[in-house]
A and B are shown apart, each in its own frame.
Chain A
Amino acid sequence: MTAIAARRAGPSRIGALGRAIRRWRSLSVGLTVLIIFAAVALGADLIRPYHDAISQDLAQSLKGPSAAHFFGTDEYGRDMFARVVFGARTTLTVAIASVLIASVVGIPLGLSIGYIGGLYEAIVSRILDALFAFPIVLLAIAIVTIIGPGIIGAMIAIGFAAIPTTARIVRSSMVAERQNEYVEASQSLGSSTVYIIFRVILPNLIGPILVLVSLGLAYATLEESGLSFLGLGAQSPLPEWGAMLSTARLYLIQDPWYAFFPGAAIFILVFSLNLVGDGLRDLTDPRRLRG
């Protein structure tokens, strides 16, 4: 009887299960770290008062880690632990807002050009091509020129820069999904185009879109820290990791710890976002499950 039971299970299904568990592991590790970062960002005030992150004490400047200052102090003697904790709030706010911008514009655009096609697709695609041609930093420079430096400009720049990629990826999922017979069935019932796109097809694209969003968050975090590093994003005294690194770079010899903690924070956050994105992709993409 056991022989028959083993036969039923089959080799491919058991292998797939093993892979799925491994994927779940990277997904759950990534998600755990992510939840910790989100909790830190939301409850930053419970960990340290905001005052700690901005109050200066020049006598205590550029000190390494100690019991009083877990992560040491910066050039103004500000507590780096508090600054890194509040930096999570800045970075996650910008990253989430920019992915929101990219999604709100990019997803409907991608869905509609993928579904409608034709001249409409040709025109929208050319506009997206043009937008795609602006390297993100230059886009940020342009936006900062217009509205002034700050995290709002960074959100808009990162969000806009991500629109073409978002739209293209959603479009290709849509083109593939449109082939299915259930779409034709809905068309033959006389459903409106908007209804078919958003109520009939969109629910089937949730998997790829979730992947897109989590990898988009990873990318946005990288970009956000880069823009702040260049002085185009968060402005002093708002705690922000990239901006901290930009200053810490000047004190590398005297105080390497200064650069270490914000750097590690960026890396760990992006790494866990990538883990989640990759894990989600493997879970939702049957083609990759097979291999």
Chain B
Amino acid sequence: MRRYLALRLLNVIPVVLIITFLVFLFTYLIPGDPANVILGPHAGAEQLAAVRLRMGLDNPFPERYLIWLGQVLQGNLGTSYLNNQTVDSLVASALPVTLELSFLSLIVAMLIAVPAGIIAAIRKGSFVDRLVTGTGFLGISIPAFMLAIILSYIFALNLRWLPATGYIRLTDDPIGNLRSLILPAVTLGTVLSTQFMRYLRAGVLDVMHEDYVTTARAKGVRERTVVFRHIVRNALIPFITVLGLQLGYLLSGAVIIEQVFALPGMGRLALSSLASRDYEVVTGVVLIMAVIFVLINLAVDLLYSLLDPRIRLSGGARAR
């Protein structure tokens, strides 16, 4: 376990460094002179040179990267030149929205997928199985934003049960907050659940035919116990890894869904900053999202190793 933890943590460091490098490369490749952007089109050559010197823009690439990295590591992501707010504070207000949406979507997805996937596998070939497999197939063929349009057409525009757009902060009005997130979370959760169902169904089908399931039945254990203790539990452990891998899809989907429902999350922040050429903000959002992705995946792996005694006790690396 300790060896596994150490290895896993050691893997994260180079990945995060490569991410920072890619993000810096991105800022470097942005066309236009940042000094020009700051000073506006009418700046004189001397002014430009001064700013360039102050910002270290004339330094060689590796040096600029290291200076930038040092700032980022100190938690300084720069300043929005649009309104002089720090990128940190912009991210701090947008990130909770995205995380809340992702978290609620994940819950919706699990609530749908876990029972559906398990029942479909256990009653393979039944009507329920065909229903689950069929809707799962439809689900992977529909873009999240399309489902968002359909659901908001029905529940917001026609039935008027829920708001079509907008976000109310949890601290301002918890009920309103939930109401403003129901449609987005159901949309994203449903799309996500179709992927989960397919993985879970396949996972349960694999485990169902394991020898130890027959052993449990041969002991005279109740069928319910066989299903939950032996089949479902062993099928859910590898599924945790799927959760980690689908995280990118979840965050990407969250960005699109934020746009449809006008939620002030990271995606909307990035898109509006892009529109106003506020590149420091774009950089900050991209960097933070990528690092969060890596960290959540790390957490998922650690959870996995805690649940699987083969890794917990032996320290062997898990095959990816």
Contact = CB atoms under 8 A, between A and B. Distances in A.
**A/B: CB atoms within 8 Å of each other:** yes
Contact of B271 (A226, A230, A249, A266): A230
B138 A271 contact: yes
Nearest to B146: A263
B143 A226 contact: yes
A118 interface: no
Interface in A110-158: 126-127, 129-138, 141-142, 144-146
Interface stretch (A16-24, A36-44, A204-212, A251-259): A251-259
A273 to B, nearest CB: 8
Given A141-B274, A145-B279, A252-B149, A133 B144 contact: no
Interface string B143-170: 1111001000100010000000000000
A231 B143 CA distance: 15
Contact of B270 (A141, A249, A266, A278): A141
Interface string B233-259: 000000000000000100110011001
Contacts of B259: 229-230
Given A145-B274, A145-B282, A138 B290 contact: yes
B320 interface: yes
A245 interface: yes
Nearest to B143: A222
B231 to A, nearest CB: 16
Interface of B: 11, 14-16, 18-19, 22, 26, 29-31, 137-138, 140-146, 149, 153, 157, 205, 248, 251-252, 255-256, 259-260, 267, 270-271, 274, 279, 282, 285-286, 289-291, 293-294, 297, 320
23 contacts: A126-B15, A127-B18, A130-B294, A132-B293, A133-B294, A135-B293, A138-B270, A141-B282, A142-B282, A144-B274, A145-B26, A146-B29, A225-B145, A226-B145, A229-B259, A242-B145, A252-B157, A256-B153, A266-B143, A267-B142, A270-B140, A271-B137, A274-B141
Interface of A: 126-127, 129-138, 141-142, 144-146, 168, 218, 222, 225-226, 229-231, 242, 245-246, 248-249, 252-253, 256, 259, 263, 266-267, 270-271, 274, 278, 291
